[in-house]
Structure 1
């Protein structure tokens, strides 16, 4: 019966489902003493199978969820073909651990900024500065009005008039941000700091393309460098410098501190550095007999 279902799929999908359904069939036969057919599978079986994969075999939640999705697809096919009337009750998806939002490493950020400095127009440099050095969302950046940016010799700020939830906030501009924005601001004459077609502002899609352009020039993974990643980089850098999370939340326009707290979760690189640091401290201090 499984093979009949696989025959309805294209080659690559069938190969992926075959592996997952074979695993389920092997477990079902071992547990129940017979091969699975759609009418024999119950919600209890599905919950036990999920628990077995998680607790006994120690599979990752993503793998567990994928295998149950394959079983669900098979049973849906059986229902559509009149083999069963209703689907059994499936367990909730296994919770996948959430890491911090992706941010550029220091090396990646430096490469990206070098590409912007070498190849970037004044407009592009100003646009990237608002996302990377002021943490604006892409929609906030493109809707910035010329009058919303104030820059003097020693300080500056950008006013976000319609942030998420239509909340207004002001974000100070660092010296680096001011240096990147000032040349374009001196040229701006219209309502919008980043004008688009007609009397409209630059589209978010166009801003996304700008970011990808410099990611490509910097030889970074274009698919993983987005305006949101630039905002995440701004937040992550502040938190790692010891800036209070309440301050970071205000700069980002977060209504809830727990939203900002996502940036404090360690990523894989953080875990690797922690382990390497422990190894180095042992080598320098010697091994204790305690």
Structure 2
């Protein structure tokens, strides 16, 4: 039934969304098996108890809501909407009212310097691409060499596997162009992927995440940093939305909100000339 849901109920969704929902429903199915039920015959009380179970395991509100959204999507497909009526779900924070954590200038420079000094041209190209395009990691790993167009004075990058399957073209900044070009110069393979793993296969999302973990960072922070930089520079929200691939202008506005660090810094520097 899970396979049918993926094939029938997830048409038109991005690969990343399909994987997220598939994993969530698979976990729910395994929990149901332990409770003596299946995806075919579970009830509303099973859903509520599963939500309570996740809360008892200290899962975050964001995770619980993501899982519930997957279950609700499954129930809509399976015509079991009565199973998700009036479910008590932990309220997730309103992300539109909070500013994501972006890297400050010192952190940005330190990351660039450390990766450059490592001598790994692929890792450096990944860092610079994310830093100057704000791509989601899933979009980065899906890039092919044919998606890159670089000349002496300019360059662009085409995102074909964007969220919601939306395609967009982004300009490439000079440092990002140089980093990508230097990496491709040392490639001798015929693989279509822009970034390869150490096993000469298309690099995975997990491998990119691991790269950032080596620097005590989250890969998504470079996307936050890119969009926050645009917002703080007072660029038109329509331009930021187009560059970031956000479907809603409201999602862009949150990047211009003050963080706790911003407020702390403002107070500490209040009377410093």
- Once residues 181 and 108 of structure 2 are traced to their aligned partners in structure 1, the CA distance between those partners, rounded to angstroms, is 21
2:238 corresponds to which residue?
246
> Does 1:164 find its partner at 2:156?
no
Q: Report the RMSD for the aligned CA atoms in angstroms.
A: 2.7
Q: TM-score when scaled to structure 1?
A: 0.58
Q: Which residue of 1 aligns with 2:143?
A: 144
Q: 2:266 maps to which residue?
A: 274
Question: 1: CA distance between counterparts of 2:192 and 2:209?
Answer: 21
- Uncovered stretches (5+) of structure 1, i.e. residues with no partner: 1-64, 66-89, 216-221, 285-290
- How many residues align structurally? 185
Report the Cα distance in structure 2 between the residues aligned to 1:91 and 1:151, rounded to whole angstroms. Answer: 48
Write the distance in 2 (CA, Å) between the matches of 1:147 and 1:177: 16
Q: CA deviation at 1:91?
A: 11
Q: Which runs of 4+ in 1 moved over 2 A?
A: 90-99, 185-189, 195-200, 272-280
How many Å separate the matches in 2 of 1:94 and 1:208?
Answer: 24
Q: Structure 2: where are the runs of 5+ without partners?
A: 1-60, 62-87
Change (3 A) 1:92 1:233: closer
- The answer to whether the Cα contact below 8 Å between 2:112 and 2:124 also exists between their aligned partners in 1 is no
Q: Does the residue aligned with 2:139 lie in a helix, a strand or coil? A: helix
> Could you say which structure has the larger radius of gyration?
1
Say if 2:227 is the partner of 1:226.
no
Q: What is the distance in 1 between the residues matched to 2:92 and 2:141?
A: 38
Q: Distance in 2 between matches of 1:199 and 1:94?
A: 40
Structure 1 residue 240 displacement after superposition: 1.6
**Whole-angstrom distance in 2 between the partners of 1:142 and 1:255:** 21
Task: Check 1:198–1:125 CA distance in 2 against 1; reply closer, same or farther (3 A cut).
Answer: closer
- Structure 1 residues 140-149 or 266-275, which shifts more? 266-275
Pairing 1:8-23 to 2, within 5 Å after superposition: none
SS at structure 2 position matched to 1:180: helix
Structure 1 residues 95 and 160, CA gap change in structure 2 (3 angstroms): closer
Mapped pair 1:202 → 2:203: yes
Higher relative contact order (CA 8 A, sep 6+): 2
What TM-score do the two structures reach when normalised by structure 2? 0.61
